[in-house]
Amino acid sequence: MIIAIDGPAGSGKSTVAQLIASRLNFKYIETGSMYRAVAWKALQAKINPEEQERIAEVARTISIEFQPGNERQKVIVDGEDLTPVLKTETIGRLAAVVAANKAVREVLVAQQQDMGRNGNVVMDGRDIGTVVFPDADKKFFLVADQKERAQRRHQEIRAKSPEVTFEKIYEQLQQRDFEDENREVSPLVPAKDSIRLDTTQMNIEDVVAQMIEMIGPVHSP
């Protein structure tokens, strides 16, 4: 069984996807981390994200693995645990730029399809229900009010980065939404057969409970 969860930044996708995966005993693949990993590698190598061919080469040569962690799943990039550094909004913005690169998407989408091939997986991102697994068994599209999403992000990073203001995060989120919705390749759009859930007024537990009910009975392979 493949469960696809798409939606904009801060809609709650990854928290919800991870909880659903652990309750159903499914594998969890956070595809945003893969675009973030390419962006991070490019930054380390001082490659301008607009340099299409060099960025594509980074995507072709990088090794990205997911490993179980205590609270959150770990992202191992070329053997190094990059989980905390990938989460910053700076890397998020760079990821949105590299994600507009067609060659990068081809490489990462093929890897995602391989990772999900054996089934019983929850995969979240922007194009899972439309491009990566158009035949997924269940597709969700999570949305939430833009200000609410910025508030969630602000709360998440406030303890670690108290200097980052809400206004800054709100502005970055608006920019990222615009880039994700308006790029030429695989823009952020709900799959026609996806279930749309507005999480603005909902807490995580309620979202997870509703989704698990909609997923219904699960059979082990």
Name the residues that contact ligand C5P, by CB under 6 A: 9, 31-32, 35-36, 92, 95-96, 99, 125-127, 176, 180
User: Which H or E element spans position 80?
Assistant: strand 80-81
Q: How far is the CB of 206 from ligand C5P (least distance, A)?
A: 22
Q: How far is the CB of 129 from ligand C5P (least distance, A)?
A: 10
Q: How far is the CB of 95 from ligand C5P (least distance, A)?
A: 4
Q: How many CA atoms lie within 13 A of 54 on its CB side?
A: 12
What is the distance between the alpha carbons of residues 26 and 121, in angstroms, rounded to a whole number?
5
Q: How far is the CB of 190 from ligand C5P (least distance, A)?
A: 13
Q: How many helices and strands, by DSSP H and E, does the chain display?
A: 9, 8
Give the distance, in angstroms, between the CA of residue 152 and the centroid of all CA atoms in the same chain.
Answer: 16
Q: Give Cα separations from 16 to 77, 116, 163, 210 (angstroms).
A: 23, 18, 28, 11
Q: How far is the CB of 118 from ligand C5P (least distance, A)?
A: 19
| Cβ(114)–Cβ(69) below 8 Å | no
Nearer to ligand C5P, 26 or 133 (CB): 133
Residue in this structure with the two tokens 């491009």, named with its chain if needed: 131
